Structure 1
């Protein structure tokens, strides 16, 4: 038996960082994001060999274990093992499974597009299809969050799992005790088309480890550091204002809030930006970009810019002076999906 699944990656438009429980539990977080046509993919094949095989094609890693109710997680494919362990424990009565789980992603982990969480969501969705589990969208997202943040103790927020599961433009609220509300936004088609035409996505060529940035933000929040907290408060307000601008079809205000959000984000940690990112940003603005930011925690990965479509080529020419890659993307409405082969 073969099952496949995929989950979309996302662009963080506003509010990123306020979805960290350290902030959301005290003040409430709000994030605006949109999924794009880049995906995390999973294939599960059932085996009769009494083995569990994990393959991550994009990083060229493969591990084989004897089928067991709990597999070790101290290796490069801990995401695979973490999902397997939770599924077996919670949904298969602790009985081992024999299967091969193969994953790949259209963007590397550390790119700022929520890749690791999308991989987890994709794997969870594949198991849901394989075992015919009665899990809805909120269930899949929460389970994926619990695996990544609690079982594996990986630093991060809550937005990525919900974005990959639900898909589309979402304004997501994070309240105390991990209570999450996903508000899908009904956006006019012309605005989606204009937003896509105005978007320049640039991979800096530097994948980054977001954990240290996130850990620093958590520490500052707990210590009540004024700059960090004011930055997070401003990020949340920028997300609220950007939601209104998108719903009203005002792309110039969307660009303004993207700029405001980037200025606020830099207050939350010194590691959010670096000389390369600052230089790329400055050159893009000089070439005609209206605003820009780093997607995700910062420090590298993808940068996004909103540009007058008539000046898009000028901005792209300026970015080509840096070692990196310009990516064309489209927004997608569908979240994770799974199917039998």
Structure 2
């Protein structure tokens, strides 16, 4: 039995510039953080031939090509599994479609588990790139590289996405005080809405590919906010960081009409008058989680609680994708 876990993530600035449609022309930059909410993938060898796959659905397959789950199918193809005899199960602390990068986390956990199961080594960098290869190159998902990289390496890191398709990254130089303040004052509330990130990001990809000035200028501005966010965090200036989150959200909403809705806008304005400095919808938008930088977290919790929004408390993860059981 092999069990791997991979952390979910929150984007702290510059999100959206990690899509190939943007960074291959202009280079991208963002700051992201792994949190202690996880996706787990377990692999076992059953007695009988065939494949058993348990996720939000369950399927049995006798060969790789007939597997319905696209990521599992493409991952198993890497190992030339002609005669299946494997059982793969997944569980998640938080469901998919909520803006925390679950697809990238699932892919990295699956690949890590498969490599250990097949007694092969895979570095963090190679794990991230292989996950990107499956999702972006093989499956043609209109997504970026943030989720796979932050899930692989963990921590609070900045990522630069280069025109030649390479990615460089480094951990932010944060003081212990800043780290604890972030964990105490960054609050996540579930909106109750789930959505497909691919549908929202598809529009951004098309507009970027067409070199539309409006979307490109928006992403240039967002990238600059990513640099400013890194600077504010490393200087321990969390007031400025919260204000940058607010600025980021105002521009993010302009990328797509699906980015927000009337209810999310109402909650956001309520938060600003009840202890929040700034915030945004995490991920591609349209639902999932609202994240706020709070100057008065208890006041904000009370206001959001009265609206029926459930808070998910978290701490940061500094381990990335790892094996938690091998027997």
- TM-score normalised by the chain length of structure 2: 0.96
Q: Secondary structure at the match of 1:320?
A: helix
> 2 CA distance for matches of 1:134 and 1:318?
48
2:244, 2:119 → 1: CA distance?
A: 43
Structure 2 counterpart of 1:81, from 73, 87, 90: 73
1:167 to 154, 159, 174: 154
Deviation by residue 1:5-52 (Cα, 9 ceiling, x = unmatched): 000000011111100000000000001000101001011001231111
Supply the distance in 2 between the matched residues of 1:81 and 1:122 (Cα, whole angstroms).
Answer: 15
Aligned to 2:65: 71
SS of 2:315's equivalent in the other structure is coil
| SS state at 2:99 partner | coil
Mark the CA change 1:148 to 1:131 in structure 2 (over 3 Å): closer, same or farther.
same
Counterpart of 2:239 in 1: which secondary structure? helix
Q: Which one of 183, 193, 217 corresponds to residue 180 of structure 2?
A: 193
Q: Secondary structure at the match of 2:144?
A: coil
C-alpha separation between the residues in 2 aligned to 1:41 and 1:111? 17
Contact residue 229 and residue 268 of structure 1 kept, 8 A: no
User: Aligned partners of 1:146 and 1:267: how far apart in 2?
Assistant: 29
Runs of 4+ in 1 over 6 A off after TM superposition: none
- The question of whether the paired residues in 2 share the 8 Å contact of 1:88 and 1:97 is answered with no
Larger mean CA deviation between 291-300 and 245-254 belongs to 245-254
SS at match of 1:176: coil
What is the deviation of 1:147? 1.0
**CA distance in structure 2 between the aligned counterparts of 1:47 and 1:147, rounded to whole angstroms:** 26
Counterpart of 1:313 in structure 2 is 298
Question: Are 2:232 and 1:252 aligned?
Answer: no
**Equivalences for residues 1-341 of structure 1 within 5 A:** 2-56=1-55, 59=56, 61-66=57-62, 68=63, 70-73=64-67, 75=68, 77-85=69-77, 87-89=78-80, 94-308=81-295, 311-338=296-323, 339-341=325-327
Structure 2: distance between partners of 1:125 and 1:225:
38
Q: Give the whole-Å Cα distance in 2 for the aligned partners of 1:22 and 1:288.
A: 37
**Distance in 2 (alpha carbons) for counterparts of 1:32 and 1:259:** 15
Partners of 1:148 and 1:37 lie apart in 2 by 23
User: What is the TM-score normalised by the length of structure 1?
Assistant: 0.92
2:219 & 2:155 partners in 1: Cα distance? 24
| Worse-matched range after superposition: 259-268 or 187-196 | 259-268
Unaligned runs of 5+ in 1: none
SS of the counterpart of 1:177? coil
Cα contact 2:142–2:205 (8 A) shared by 1: no
What is the DSSP-based 3-state SS (H/G/I as helix, E as strand, rest coil) of the residue aligned with 1:227?
A: helix
- The offset of 1:78, in angstroms, is 2.5
Aligned residues: 326
In structure 2, relative to structure 1, the CA distance for the partners of 1:323 and 1:78 (3 Å cut) is farther
